[in-house]
Chains A and B, each alone.
Chain A
Amino acid sequence: MGKVVVITSGKGGVGKTTAVANIGTALAQLGQQVVMVDTDIGLRNLDVVVGLENRIVYNLVDAVKGRCRLRQALVRDKHLENLFLLPAAQTEDKTAVTAEQMVELCRELKQDYDFVLIDSPAGIEQGFANAVAGAEQAVVITTPEVAAVRDADRVIGLLESRGLKEPQLIINRIRPDMVRRGDMMDMDDILDILAIRLLGIIPEDEHIVVSTNRGEPAVWDKGSRAGLAFRNISRRLMGEEVPLLPIFNHGGLVQRLRRLMGLK
């Protein structure tokens, strides 16, 4: 019996879909049976991020409404035979499925897969309610900006009120150079404010743009620091203890000097 994990954020554009694509791919690389579910009905994106947009026949709404069997709606990854995508419908809207249908869908999927990763739409309306309905574990993703952290706080409250206790946090697009200069909030600032467990930190990385252009998640790219961070997150989701990347552990020379001199 697998785990159903929803990845959500409140604010749009902070990296939910990129995170699902990379974590899903990395978990499959580690030998897990994985299905990624795009619940952003009407605005599907996960298919293009993982490069499967040309292989879609049926979608989530077809499967839920019984227009096809669930198996038929799953698109197998190009490289990994244990990784699947359940794409969102593009021509319908969020009311096309109900929370109860999502609960049933997740219950079915977790019989066959170790990880069911749910990509949530932005916002806190019905799309969000559907995305979290069948989940038993939640990951909140944010970037180090006031608006994104504020929305994350709101979403954490909503998750907890829906019984998804102890959501975990991913901080995306951190720039260590700006953190050192004091021009970007760091991990401690954000954790301090949100009072939540950290799942991982992803550095800003140009490889993400390149890999998204290609439709090949950055975890395939051994030179990508973001890819490495996502691989580490996947190992943590499997229960392994993996330290943070060294760039986040000690800060730069100046910060270390200041700390040595007692000025921090």
Chain B
Amino acid sequence: MLGLLQRLLGQETQSSKKIAKERLRLVLVHDRADVSPHFFEALKNDLVEVISKYMEIDTRRLEVKLHNSPEAVALVANIPVLGMKKNYGS
């Protein structure tokens, strides 16, 4: 009876469906990134191209990866800056 009341009021403990959905979402972020082995290469190249319009960067020490924690997946890019461009955007 309490269970039914809680359900009516939407206060149930986290449903297993929500857990499933969240786990699925996280696993797919990784799967989709892994589908192409060139994914990170392509992403890096595009990042370099865009950022190079504004800054001089050290492309050899550039690092791009997915950071994985239980709650979220983040894209972490470590891009050493060598200097700013004066005529940026061109």
Contact = CB atoms under 8 A, between A and B. Distances in A.
A214 interface: no
Given A182-B12, A183-B15, A254-B7, A145 B20 contact: yes
A interface, by DSSP: helix, strand, loop or mixed?
helix
Interface string B13-46: 0011110110111011001100100000000000
B9 interface: yes
A183 B17 contact: yes
Contact of A157 (B8, B10, B35): B35
A184 B18 CA distance: 9
B interface, by DSSP: helix, strand, loop or mixed?
helix
Nearest to B21: A189
Interface residues of A, number: 21
B27 to A, nearest CB: 6
Nearest to B9: A263
Interface in A110-147: 145-146
B64 to A, nearest CB: 21
B22 to A, nearest CB: 10
A190 to B, nearest CB: 9
Interface of B: 4, 7-10, 12, 15-18, 20-21, 23-25, 27-28, 31-32, 35
- The 6 A-B residue pairs whose C-beta atoms are closest, nearest first, are A182-B15, A263-B10, A183-B16, A146-B24, A182-B17, A189-B21
Interface of A: 145-146, 149-150, 153-154, 157, 179, 181-186, 189, 193, 254, 257-258, 263-264
